[in-house]
Structure 1
Amino acid sequence: MAELLQSPAGSSFGFGRRQPTDVIRATVTQRAEGEAMVLDTEQLAALDALANSTLWALGQGHRQDPAGRHLYLWGPPGRGKTWLLGAYFDALPTERKKRMHFHEFFRELHARARDASRAALERLDAGPPSAGPGVIPATGAARAETRSSAIATAIDSLLGDLDVICFDEFHCNDPGDAMLLSRTLKRIFEHRILLVTTSNYSPDQLLPDEYFHHLIEPTIDLINTQMSVLQVAGGTDYRTLAKASDERSGYATGSIIPAGDTGRMIELGLEIPASHEAVTIKPTTKPIAAKRAADGRFWASFEELCEGPTATLDYLAMVEDYTHWVIDGVPAGDAMSPFGLRRFGNVIDVLYDKDLRLDLVVDGELEPALTLLPPADAARLRSRLAALASRLPSVGR
């Protein structure tokens, strides 16, 4: 019988007299069997790595060198990475754990960093409590140092006293996030919090734009030196497996509808908005003109939502109010601008992660647009479009 493990000081977990590695393996395997899943070789290897890393994070090995204990699971969409991470997270025998979609984490981090920076700069500009009128303004260097310290405070406030943090869909497409990402990983590793991520990108594929890739290289170095990078790329894309209509839910209940097919729209319960329903909403800082935004339903044109100056932070704010989205006027792929295509992918990422219904009214084939994306991005978007109940064979079915 295994000896009862002693937890690191202050850690909060419990697994009786069973090793945490056994708990993780048994629980995840049983869940797979219950869902009629057969874990492939790469999924089983990832499960072993997850179980062993848990022993380091929660057991006596916590004082050992953490290099290689953190895990970066990557591979094409639909290969079971997110399922595996979810099953692992649920099986973790600790309450001090957090799982977040990477979009959500960065949204919260930006908000906390902004608030912390504003408060710190106000204190800096006010001077010490004893200072009277005529306080000398802080120098640029002092203000930069204050902002940097506020960012560290924001990161630490998100991490708290966690034992394990899990990120779904780890990626970086924004040059402005690259430096913040490096700082975040450093803080996680310094606090010896176990980090587990899933991604559709190998580390070297992060921020692939040749003009900005150098900004992500410090993060890539951290991943390659501190994390075990495992590929999960089994031959089955679970998202493309057909399901009966009564088995679909959330995102997968949406459709891709050819423009002008009013019969199909009526069949799906999509009533074209009346002119009096038009409204302008402001989810963050930018107004968005919607054709409908009421009772949990949001309807807007592709031109307004994707070609306008919207951002992922807007979509993340909007999903709190709207659970059914319709985007019409989606142009044929070769008519999309690069920025519109990128925002289109971001909208779909957010709605897929939140498992919210999305209906697309399209003017033509979408496949030509996918050829303009890096291969990993194209595979990701193609898989998510294929998850919709599409009538168009040219988007991945």
Structure 2
Amino acid sequence: MNGESVPVASHMATAATVTLPSRLWQHSLAAAKIERDPVQEQTLPLLDQVVSLLMRPVHRTVWRGVAVWRGLLESQPTMRGVYLHGDVGRGKSYLMQLVFDAVPIQEKRRVHFHPFMEELHQRLHQAEPPANVDLMLFIASQLAAEARLLCFDEFYITTIADGVLLGRLLESLFLCGVTVCATSNWAPDELFQGGYNRGSVLPFIALIKKRILICELTQGKDWRRQAAVRSGCTLLDPAPLFARLSQSSARPSTLLLRQTSVPVLGCAEGIFWFDFVALCSSMLGRADYIFLCKQAKALIISGLPRLTCDDADTAMRFVVLVDLLYEQRIPLRVYSAIPLEEVCHSGEIAFAWRRAVSRVHELCRTGAIPLE
């Protein structure tokens, strides 16, 4: 290894000085913030292991022309994180947050898959690596400087391009000494299952299984659904709620989302009321919904129809939007004459739809958002 080594005192902590995830979980249990879940409890030793590995002394050094993290006392650990997967509402995001909270370092980030992919594409476009330095390794080094711990919420692959890109990035992050934690509704072997030319992403899946601890949260209670007020998600007339939140009557107009004009049923004071078809059936993408989330204080969506297998793209847009709203805790109300679980219950998108519905139920929970 060549280059200057710069010890970083803030990374000299040991597990003995850290409140491990298992202790944080026990504290929440004792304070009645959570209920005992035996499956969650079984994952805690793995989470403690990840945090303990992160607390080993490290320093910054130069390798292959980029700055990386390296251990002061020993070689790099083989395992570089944890991958939590299981059904919707099983507490995966909560468990990952325990890891995030337990690590007493500044260089850590928790990101949602959609905005992170947008960020990655921007970095690829703007990067100017030195001669003879690999582009992805250069970007991974930039990310490593910002975060020794990188937590992905709701990790999945929707396109082969994303799969190949993430595979290259993950390998480079490991080389730069980054620990990766992720939550997903899919086991690694289920990622992009049935996708076109899936063989191209199999090396990525193999890398996950080789370098990250895999932890399945088996069937149990959907904790989001347990706490939800379902009636708040299936009412028929959103006009009174819009009027109360915005202090004005709803007036149809159009909203420009980047380069696309979208009909809006009401828009005032950061409160947006959309028809489902207008918002999710038009040719909008992740970047458009990110743009919307930056403007919105609260969203109301009405008029959900029953979807079929032919409406997979429409359903997926709703899933993407809900993920973004949930990540940023933007208040949401969904109004439908059909129970949300029945809007889309078949086809390849059904599983992702169930996850989105679980998140909608949580956002409809009493006290969770200021819409009541």
The answer (yes or no) to whether the contact 1:254–1:358 under 8 Å persists in 2 is no
Q: Which residue of 1 aligns with 2:251?
A: 274
Q: Secondary structure at the match of 1:79?
A: coil
Measure, in 1, the Cα distance between the counterparts of 2:35 and 2:17: 22
Asked whether 1:96 is paired with 2:107, we answer yes
The answer (yes or no) to whether the contact 2:12–2:57 under 8 Å persists in 1 is no
2:303 is aligned, of 315, 329, 353, to 329
Measure, in 1, the Cα distance between the counterparts of 2:295 and 2:174: 35
Following superposition, the deviation at residue 114 of structure 1 comes to: 2.2
Q: Which residue of 1 aligns with 2:50?
A: 53
Structure 1 counterpart of 2:279, one-letter code: L
Q: Which residue of 2 aligns with 1:84?
A: 95
Q: Which residue of 1 aligns with 2:86?
A: 75
Bigger fraction of residues in strand: 2
The answer (yes or no) to whether the contact 2:11–2:105 under 8 Å persists in 1 is yes
Following superposition, the deviation at residue 224 of structure 1 comes to: 0.9
Any unmatched runs of 5+ in structure 1? 1-7, 124-144, 246-251, 391-397
Any unmatched runs of 5+ in structure 2? 1-5, 59-70, 366-372
Give the paired residue count.
Answer: 344
Q: Secondary structure at the match of 2:332?
A: strand
Q: Secondary structure at the match of 1:370?
A: coil
Measure, in 2, the Cα distance between the counterparts of 1:157 and 1:18: 27
Following superposition, the deviation at residue 73 of structure 1 comes to: 0.9
Asked whether 1:302 is paired with 2:276, we answer yes
Q: Which residue of 2 aligns with 1:25?
A: 22
Q: Which residue of 2 aligns with 1:236?
A: 221
The equivalences for 1:22-171 within 5 A come to 23-59=20-56, 62=71, 63-116=74-127, 149-160=134-145, 162-171=147-156
- Aligned CA distance change for structure 1 residues 174 and 272 (closer, same or farther; 3 Å): farther
Q: Which residue of 2 aligns with 1:361?
A: 335
Residue deviations 1:54-103 (CA, integer Å, cap 9, x gap)? 22222159434532342111111111111111122112122221111222
Following superposition, the deviation at residue 336 of structure 1 comes to: 6.7
- Aligned CA distance change for structure 1 residues 299 and 338 (closer, same or farther; 3 Å): same
Measure, in 1, the Cα distance between the counterparts of 2:263 and 2:197: 32
Measure, in 2, the Cα distance between the counterparts of 1:14 and 1:60: 5
Measure, in 2, the Cα distance between the counterparts of 1:200 and 1:242: 20
Q: Which residue of 1 aligns with 2:8?
A: 10
Question: What's the TM-score once normalised by structure 2's chain length?
Answer: 0.80
The answer (yes or no) to whether the contact 2:238–2:302 under 8 Å persists in 1 is no
Measure, in 2, the Cα distance between the counterparts of 1:180 and 1:335: 28
The answer (yes or no) to whether the contact 1:109–1:155 under 8 Å persists in 2 is no
Asked whether 1:190 is paired with 2:175, we answer yes
Q: Secondary structure at the match of 1:330?
A: coil
Structure with the greater alpha carbon radius of gyration? 1
The answer (yes or no) to whether the contact 2:20–2:51 under 8 Å persists in 1 is no
Following superposition, the deviation at residue 225 of structure 1 comes to: 1.0
Measure, in 2, the Cα distance between the counterparts of 1:99 and 1:229: 19
Q: Secondary structure at the match of 1:337?
A: helix
1:340 is aligned, of 293, 297, 314, to 314
Residue deviations 1:281-311 (CA, integer Å, cap 9, x gap)? 133x444343344421122222222111111
Asked whether 1:311 is paired with 2:285, we answer yes
Cα RMSD after superposing both structures: 3.4
Following superposition, the deviation at residue 170 of structure 1 comes to: 1.2
Deviates more, 1:353-362 or 1:175-184: 353-362
The answer (yes or no) to whether the contact 2:160–2:200 under 8 Å persists in 1 is yes
- Aligned CA distance change for structure 1 residues 267 and 156 (closer, same or farther; 3 Å): same
- Aligned CA distance change for structure 1 residues 230 and 18 (closer, same or farther; 3 Å): closer
Question: What's the TM-score once normalised by structure 1's chain length?
Answer: 0.75
Following superposition, the deviation at residue 379 of structure 1 comes to: 3.3
Q: Which residue of 1 aligns with 2:234?
A: 256
Measure, in 2, the Cα distance between the counterparts of 1:368 and 1:379: 10
- Aligned CA distance change for structure 1 residues 286 and 213 (closer, same or farther; 3 Å): farther
Q: Secondary structure at the match of 2:118?
A: helix
Structure 1 counterpart of 2:179, one-letter code: L
The answer (yes or no) to whether the contact 1:178–1:216 under 8 Å persists in 2 is yes
Asked whether 1:381 is paired with 2:356, we answer yes
Residue deviations 1:348-384 (CA, integer Å, cap 9, x gap)? 1211222222222335454152212356424313423
Structure 2 counterpart of 1:202, one-letter code: A
- Aligned CA distance change for structure 1 residues 11 and 227 (closer, same or farther; 3 Å): farther
